[in-house]
């Protein structure tokens, strides 16, 4: 594939970094029991190492030093976890214990450094003051995590000070390093050093927030905090921030509807927005929200396909779906249904393929490169493909991105990409190869797949099948509500359907509602493969049993005033975030190093 330019590469790099972050966030922490054992083992071995550094024999170091480490490092860590869990019960003990473990690692490094200073009699630095600085750093760590990740603003200072205080109290009670400070003075020095680190933390917060405040009027720290609140707790407060950053656009809505015996049987919908960003935010649950609302109003099977739109077209809130629901109902009321006559054809050009379902001269076109990566397509290209289809002989056309091959490559097709010309030619060939008009029969079926759920990459709208018959020839669109599908399982479903005498294409909505489970990349087929294939075949068989002649019509309407994240905002955000990261890589370490040196100097004067 040709180079995409600096902006494209920047976008790709940033997206890959986001993927790594979400994979980390989606990972499961060890159980509380394992974390407890890990803290105990860590403190035990740190105690042994410290004792050996002091010249103690191995056996005595294990017996005496190990117990010393558990008492001054392990016990305070466990107690602080319990206390902080009681302060905020909504935060799981496992998460707090993990933070205590990380803090214990930091404390252990400074403790061993202090023992080495004492052993080597380095008089330039007081060994106990090194212990105090280490615990002040632990305070900064606890405070930052409580403030940003746990989102406990009012209690963050209390969270920050618990473990350092207990560390010093237990340290003084045992006294492995001599200090001339009284307990009261030692704690005063700790809190003073912690205050210096607190200033450094707020300086970092200010530096991180400033660019985002200037560009978008929002706080970076607040955005990260709300992002994590959504990721862990399904909070929708982040949508308020999206609303501030969003812009209004005009987009399209494609509606193809089928009637049987005077009643609506099936409705194809393509809202030209992107079903993201993730979880229950923005447009992530649009497929199920749209499907359920229209189904309740019409009692028809509703299939919501992925349009040609990228993340720039992510709705700022789930409330934007109301505009598409209203437009869909208005469009249905204005339709002129006629006996469905048409054909299904396939256009190929190099790596791209297009399935073209033509009904009464109007086409539903599905684009794919499977088994090659089939990802998002820019909205402007979708308009060009639609115009090409109409110019090639259709009265009207709606373009769907099959989004049906997840290979791990993060990419999208934008203006100027060589793939856009491949798709264009495939669209032309698909339309020009349309067969003679034949009477169309349609059967539909669905399976919520609720028992498989998000762990299998399945969103709330489950799986739906529309099976078309053209005088003996049968073709099915199998649609999963999910963020793409593995090429191998797509192939299995197509092969199984072929054994039933049915050709088919497998598609996904590209709903990002299931992404919280497995990170940004959570394709269908990672687990429960055999069950998914079996259920897809059952769904196709069920659809075959209710095939009947239908009437149909299709319209593509404009939807105004849709608030989305926006193209310019995406590019500005990427540039701003990259700038922040580049600066903070240098500034943050220097700030904390400066805070540590200043605090070390200051507490020697107390």
pLDDT category, 225, cuts 50, 70, 90? low
Q: What is the pLDDT of residues 84-114, one digit of tens each?
A: 988 887 788 888 999 999 999 999 999 999 8
Asked if pLDDT for residue 199 goes beyond 70, the answer is yes
Instruction: Please give the pLDDT value at position 24.
Output: 46
Taking the C-alpha atoms of residue 219 and residue 580, their distance in angstroms, rounded to an integer, is 13
233, 269 Cβ separation under 8 angstroms: no
Which residues are 564's β-sheet partners? 247, 315
Query: Model confidence at 291, in pLDDT bands (50, 70, 90)?
Result: very high
Which residues, 6+ apart, have CB-to-CB distance to 94 below 8 Å?
A: 29, 30, 31, 32, 35
- Supply φ then ψ for residue 404, to 5 degrees: -130, 30
Pairing of strands 473-480, 463-470: antiparallel
256-269 burial, b for 16+ CB within 10 Å, e for fewer?
A: bbbbbeeebbbbbb
Question: What was the pLDDT predicted at 227?
Answer: 61
Instruction: Specify which residues 562 forms β-bridges with.
Output: 249
Q: Which two tokens stand for residue 373?
A: 């990566």
Average pLDDT over residues 194-210: 90
Distances (CA, A) of 345 to 289, 348, 350, 488: 31, 10, 17, 24
What are the boundaries of each domain within the chain?
31-229+576-604, 250-564
pLDDT in tens, 315-364: 888 889 999 999 999 999 999 999 999 999 999 999 999 999 999 999 99
Query: What's the mean per-residue pLDDT of the chain?
Result: 86
| 25-34, 103-112, 304-313: least confident range | 25-34
Q: What is the model's pLDDT at position 420? A: 94
Contact 109, 596 (CB under 8 A): no
Burial class (CB in 10 A: 0-12, 13-18, 19+), 188: middle
State how far the Cα of 42 lies from the Cα of 75, in Å rounded to an integer. Answer: 12
301, 295 Cβ separation under 8 angstroms: yes
Q: What number of other Cβ atoms are within 10 A of residue 357's Cβ?
A: 27
What pLDDT is stored for residue 173 in this prediction? 85
CA distance 535 to 538: 5
Whether the pLDDT of residue 179 is over 70: the answer is: no
Pairing status of strand 473-480 against strand 503-508: parallel
pLDDT in tens, 373-418: 998 999 999 999 999 999 999 999 999 999 999 887 767 898 889 9
Beta bridge partners of 270: 254
Enumerate the β-bridge partners of residue 364. Answer: 357, 398
How many whole angstroms separate alpha carbon 435 and alpha carbon 302?
A: 27
Contact 237, 226 (CB under 8 A): yes
Tokens encoding 310: 């990228």
In the numeric block, which tokens belong to residue 474?
């049968």
Cross-strand bridge partners of residue 553: 257
Q: What is the pLDDT of residue 560?
A: 96
Is residue 143 pLDDT above 60, yes or no? yes
CA distance 397 to 554: 8
């Amino acid at each position: 594939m040709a180079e995409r330019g600096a902006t494209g590469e920047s976008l790709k790099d940033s997206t890959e970094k986001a993927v790594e972050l979400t994979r980390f966030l989606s990972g499961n922490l060890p159980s509380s029991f394992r974390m407890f054992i890990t803290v105990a083992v860590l403190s035990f071995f740190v105690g042994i190492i410290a004792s050996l550094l002091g010249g103690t024999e191995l056996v005595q170091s294990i017996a005496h030093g190990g117990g010393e480490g558990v008492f001054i490092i392990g016990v305070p860590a466990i107690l602080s976890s319990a206390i902080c869990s009681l302060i905020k019960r909504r935060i799981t003990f496992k998460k707090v214990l993990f933070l205590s473990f990380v803090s214990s690692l930091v404390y252990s490094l400074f403790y061993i450094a202090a023992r080495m200073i004492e052993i080597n009699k380095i008089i330039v630095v007081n060994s106990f003051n090194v212990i105090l600085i280490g615990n002040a750093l632990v305070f900064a760590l606890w405070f930052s995590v409580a403030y940003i990740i746990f989102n406990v603003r009012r209690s963050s200072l209390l969270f920050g000070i618990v473990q350092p205080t207990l560390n010093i109290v237990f340290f003084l009670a045992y006294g492995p390093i001599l200090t001339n400070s009284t307990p009261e003075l030692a704690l005063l020095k700790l809190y003073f050093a912690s205050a210096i680190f607190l200033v450094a933390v707020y300086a970092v917060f200010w530096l991180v927030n400033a660019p985002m405040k200037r560009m978008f009027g929002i706080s970076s720290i607040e955005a990260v905090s709300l992002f994590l609140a959504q990721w862990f707790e399904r909070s929708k407060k982040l949508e308020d921030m999206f609303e501030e950053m969003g812009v209004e656009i005009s987009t399209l809505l494609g509606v193809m509807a089928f009637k049987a015996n005077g009643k609506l049987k099936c409705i194809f919908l393509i809202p030209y927005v992107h079903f993201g960003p993730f979880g229950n935010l923005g447009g992530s649950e649009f497929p199920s929200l749209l499907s359920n609302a229209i189904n309740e109003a019409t009692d028809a099977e509703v299939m919501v396909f992925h349009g040609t739109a990228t993340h720039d077209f992510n709705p700022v809130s789930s409330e934007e779906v109301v505009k598409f629901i209203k437009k869909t109902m208005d469009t249905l009321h204005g339709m002129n249904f006629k006996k469905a006559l048409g054909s299904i054809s396939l256009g190929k050009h190099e790596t791209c393929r297009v399935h073209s379902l033509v009904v009464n001269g109007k086409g539903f076109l599905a684009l794919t490169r499977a088994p090659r990566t089939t990802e998002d397509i820019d909205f402007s290209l979708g308009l060009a493909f639609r115009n090409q289809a109409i110019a090639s002989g259709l009265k009207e056309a709606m373009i769907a991105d099959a989004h049906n091959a997840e290979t791990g490559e993060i990419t999208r097709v934008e203006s100027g990409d060589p793939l856009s010309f491949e798709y264009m030619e495939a669209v032309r060939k698909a339309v020009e190869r349309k067969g003679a008009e034949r009477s169309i029969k349609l059967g539909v079926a669905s399976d919520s797949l609720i028992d498989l759920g998000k762990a299998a990459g399945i969103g709330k709208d489950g799986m739906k099948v529309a099976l078309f018959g053209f005088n003996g020839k049968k073709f099915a669109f199998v649609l999963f509500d999910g963020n793409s599908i593995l090429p191998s399982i797509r192939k299995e479903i197509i092969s199984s359907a072929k054994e039933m005498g049915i050709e088919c294409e497998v598609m996904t909505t590209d709903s990002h509602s299931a992404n919280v489970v497995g990170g940004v990349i959570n394709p269908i087929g990672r687990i429960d493969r055999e069950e998914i294939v079996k259920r897809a075949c059952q769904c196709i068989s069920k659809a075959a049993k209710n095939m009947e002649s239908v009437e149909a019509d299709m319209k593509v309407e404009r939807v105004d005033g849709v608030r989305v994240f926006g193209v310019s905002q995406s590019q500005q955000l990427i540039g701003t975030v990259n700038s922040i990261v580049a600066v903070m890589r240098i500034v943050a370490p220097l700030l904390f190093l400066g805070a540590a040196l200043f605090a070390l100097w200051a507490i020697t004067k107390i």
